[in-house]
Amino acid sequence: LLGAQFVAAAEPCAPRAAPGGSDAVMLDAASSDVDYRSNMVVFRDIVITQGAVRVAAQQARATGLDFENSTWSFTGAVRITVEGGALRSDEATVNFAANRVATAKIRGNPAEFEQPRTGSQDVARGRASAIDYDVAAGSVTLLGDAWLTDGRNEIRGQQLTYDVRGQRVQSGSRPGQ
């Protein structure tokens, strides 16, 4: 032990749930490191699930265990499962609001997205320097050297937005670019 730091034993951390029944946020980690002075928690080999949304990484940092209104940083082999699709990256920032996953911003070399297309054998795939996932809007926005395919056609641009539910893509650029 160093200062006010506590290192959890080698046993896995018990899953923790936020209020809300089956849509509860569940946390499972191989270990945790809590710094009570800064209220910072570091988890290793972590998996957070809520309904169909799953976030897994080698490491996560958070200020406390609050899912009401918090931002978590994930690093190392980040995998996020969403609405029948998946995001992969080197690092991600996930925002929780009202005990729900609200947004995820992933960065990587590259950050990747894929989703099997409904009624087809095709898979929508995309990659970019960064991808923003908005849970409420059901969209992923690929930013910076973006590439997306629907399994038959390819599109490239600096910004591509894919509607996960409607399985449609829009291209454009941010103002000033």
Residue 11 has pLDDT above 60, yes or no: no
Q: What are phi and psi of 114, to 5 degrees?
A: -150, 150
pLDDT digit string, tens, across residues 121-174: 888 899 999 999 988 888 889 999 999 988 788 999 999 998 888 878 877 655
Non-local (6+) Cβ contacts of 48 within 8 A are: 25, 26, 27, 28, 54, 55, 56, 60, 72, 94
pLDDT digit string, tens, across residues 72-95: 999 999 999 876 789 999 999 998
More confident residue, 110 or 66: 110
**pTM for the full predicted model:** 0.79
The answer for 138, left when phi > 0, alpha when psi is -120 to 50, beta otherwise, is left
